[in-house]
Amino acid sequence: MAKAGSDGRRPAGRRRSAGRAAADPPTRGHGTIGRLAAGGIFGLYRLTGRLATPLVRAHLHRRARRGREEPGRLAERLGTASLERPAGLLVWLHAASVGEAVSCLALIDRLRAERPSLSVLLTTGTVTSARLMAERLPQGALHQYAPVDLPAAVENFLDHWRPDFALLVESELWPNLLIGAARRGVALGLVNGRMSAASYRAWRRFRPLIRHLLGRFSLVLAQSPRDRDRLEALGAVAPAFVGNLKFAAPPAWPGRPAAARRRT
């Protein structure tokens, strides 16, 4: 089970867990038929995830033996936190790997400068990004491994961390994470949004689901005009192009030779 909050109690009036949510919140720009189709696809996705849970656990252990997961932190990948949730407002940033995580550093600094009491949780999915963030995250920011997109793992993660706002970076469009957070009333944003040509073609085969997912975001900021147009064609509401966040990011490994960076 995920740990309780830092004060040992769940604050009054907090969001309900997904299992107790009465219904999905309405998705903007999504008709009844589209919602039903998306719900059917999502239901099948969740069922497949539940059935595949033992296989995913075994896969994580194989990755750990190969050095691609941290054995001591595998529980985080299944949604069990290794840290307490800080009291007060918590913003959750989710990035896939090193490049995306580094691009979040300037954003974290800006958020903390404007609101010093704010806590930031950054999740990533790779060992290298976790090690880098252990060196680079400022005070008031925490790192955890992202949960795999299985229903139980996501529910454990969200029940423990209870984020007030979530910013997903680039193309991290995981159905259980997105819909689970939306069911809890978490405000969602997509920053530095990216949609490659290959991903665009793939998602077009699942239009009801991707429209359902993108409609959960109240803020969509694309990293290029082409990405903005693709996201809008798939169902994002009023996406905007404001530039690429990576251009504002500091070097991933400052002061280290290029050869050393390549070996990491």
Contact at 8 Å (CB) between 155 and 123? no
CA distance 192 to 217: 13
Residue 100 bears catalytic tag: yes
Per the residue annotation, which of 69, 70, 84, 100 is the catalytic one? 100
Instruction: Give burial (CB, 10 Å; 0-12/13-18/19+) of 74.
Output: middle
Instruction: Give burial (CB, 10 Å; 0-12/13-18/19+) of 159.
Output: buried
Q: In what order do the strands lie in the sheet with 240-241?
A: 141-145, 119-124, 90-94, 165-169, 187-193, 219-222, 240-241
Q: Which residues are catalytic?
A: 100
